[in-house]
Amino acid sequence: MATSGGKVRLGVISFAHGHVNAYIEALRELEDAEVVAAWDDDRVRGETQCARHGLELVPDLDALLGREDIDAVFVTSPTNRHAEHAVAAARAGKAVLLQKPMALTLEDCDRIIRAVRESGVRFSMCYQMRADPVNRKMKELVDQGAVGNVAVVRRRHAIGALLNPDFARPGNWHIDPVQNMGMFMDDASHAADWFYWMLGRPRSVIAEIDNVVTSVAPDDNGVAVFRFSRGEMGVLLNSSTMLAAEATTEVYGDRGVIVQNYGDAPSSALPRPEGAVALKLYRAGADDWERFDFLADTPHGARIRAVPRSLVDYLKGDGPPLATTEDGRVCVEMILGAYQSAREGRRITFDARSSA
Nearest to 85 by CA among 36, 23, 15, 186: 15
Give the three-state DSSP class for 11.
Answer: strand
Cβ-proximal residues to 352 (8 Å cutoff; 6+ apart), any chain: 201, 203
Q: Give one word for 14, left, alpha or beta, with left for phi > 0 and alpha for psi -120 to 50.
A: left
Which DSSP string do the residues of 270-336 spell out, in sequence order? Answer: SPPPTT--SEEEEETT-SS-EE----TT--HHHHHHTHHHHHHHHHTTSS--SS-HHHHHHHHHHHH
Determine the average pLDDT of the residues in 143-172.
Answer: 96
Alpha-carbon distance of 55 to 36, in angstroms, equals 6
CB 153 within 8 A of CB 199: yes
Residue 326: is its pLDDT beyond 70?
Answer: yes
Alpha-carbon distance of 43 to 240, in angstroms, equals 29
The answer, as to whether pTM is greater than 0.85, is yes
106-119 vs 82-91: helix axis angle to the nearest 10? 10
What are the distances in angstroms from CA 248 to CA 32, 155, 264, 266, 355? 34, 6, 7, 9, 31
Alpha-carbon distance of 7 to 296, in angstroms, equals 34
- Helices (H) and strands (E) in the chain — how many of each? 12, 15
More confident residue, 213 or 353: 213
Alpha-carbon distance of 120 to 75, in angstroms, equals 17
Q: What is the pLDDT of residues 243-254, one digit of tens each?
A: 999 999 999 999
Alpha-carbon distance of 98 to 101, in angstroms, equals 8
At 269, the pLDDT band (50, 70, 90 cuts) reads confident
pLDDT, position 355: 45
Check residue 263 and report its DSSP letter. Answer: -
- Strands 256-261 and 247-253: what pairing? antiparallel
Q: What is the pLDDT of residues 163-187, one digit of tens each?
A: 999 999 999 999 999 999 999 999 9
pLDDT, position 100: 97
Partners of 206 in beta bridges: 225
Please report the domains of the chain, with CATH numbers, ordered by start residue: 8-121 (3.40.50.720), 129-299+333-349 (3.30.360.10)
pLDDT, position 126: 97
More confident residue, 297 or 24: 24
Window from 10-14, 80-84, 188-192, 296-300 with minimum mean pLDDT: 296-300
At 2, the pLDDT band (50, 70, 90 cuts) reads low
CB 264 within 8 A of CB 279: no
Residue 354: is its pLDDT beyond 80?
Answer: no
CB 96 within 8 A of CB 35: no
Alpha-carbon distance of 283 to 125, in angstroms, equals 34
**Helix, strand, coil tally for the chain in percent (to 5):** 35, 20, 40
